[in-house]
Structure 1
Amino acid sequence: MGGALRRIATNFNVESRAHRLLDQQKPRPAPKHPKTAEKIAQYQRENPQILEQQQRKDESLLGMLKDVKVVSEEVEGKRLMNEADAAESQKKARPLPQNRKANPGSPAVFLEADEVPEGRLSVGQAMELLAKHKRNKNEFNAERLAQDYKMDLDDTKKILEYFQSFKVIPVIDGKDIPRIKGS
């Protein structure tokens, strides 16, 4: 019932409201900045032919526009596709994965990159580098680790100084989490 009342109210006196709206003054453009208005006026004084050309209808262009004929045909249930649409539809046709859980055989929580460029480390390699250095600091010093992992010596020193391995802090029975000293 409410929809019918709303429809009646919106359709009431539509024609006169439309005429009233069309009779209103057209919106004025925003005023131009004085410097911009000066430059436009100066350009119009220097190039009056461009202003005349802009206001005149070009008959040759109108004739060409009249010659253009556009025909659109659509096959039932199918539309014509360009190459991008076809590639997108093929991607969508690919079946979605059914198993959304992590691989049970993978001990890592994160996925390792297949290729790591020289001078960079994956997270697993960084953990391995830190573990080697922690086990034997004399044998696996910064110079040797930089050679082994093909990294810059300064970067390796900074990794050993500032990077730490991940620590798991278990929360038992909702007790308070231990805080870092100084916070």
Structure 2
Amino acid sequence: MGSRVVRMLRNVNLENRVQREISKEKPRPAPRHAVTQQTDHDGNVGTVHQKNNDLLSNLKSVYVDSINTQTVKSIKKGVSMDDETKCRPTKFFLPENSYGLANLTEVPRGKLTITEAIKAVGSHQNEPQTWTSQKIAKEYSLDLKETKSLLEFFIPFQVQIFPPENVKQLKVV
């Protein structure tokens, strides 16, 4: 109810107020500052804006040719483009439509799916003598340094259930 009253008071005599504002004389903008001539570092006035034919002829003689930077990077690494683009088949699959993740059939070399990472880290934790970092790197086509980092820093989910403090624990006899 209060908003209606405020709106009515705001709109009272609106057209007259608009006409009064439109008919007012607009303020003149302030005059601009006179621009001084720019000088270059030698103190010559106006040479910055003059056309220099010697510089234009030098600019016309320049020719730039670009190369594919990805090819250059792969040559520097010592890996050909064919080896880099090859994919390996995935080792493990999730059950159909689980966790909202799509099952991939091919993974680029040097990469892992989440399922493979969990499987590799889990097998290393269960049998560290059998599943060494070298074996995992070879099995999944990974770099040895990255595999060691994966095994050190990637911790799969661990579920721990703590009993409430106020409930007495049952003693097994």
TM-score, structure 2 normalization: 0.48
Name whichever structure is richer in helix by fraction: 1
TM-score, structure 1 normalization: 0.46
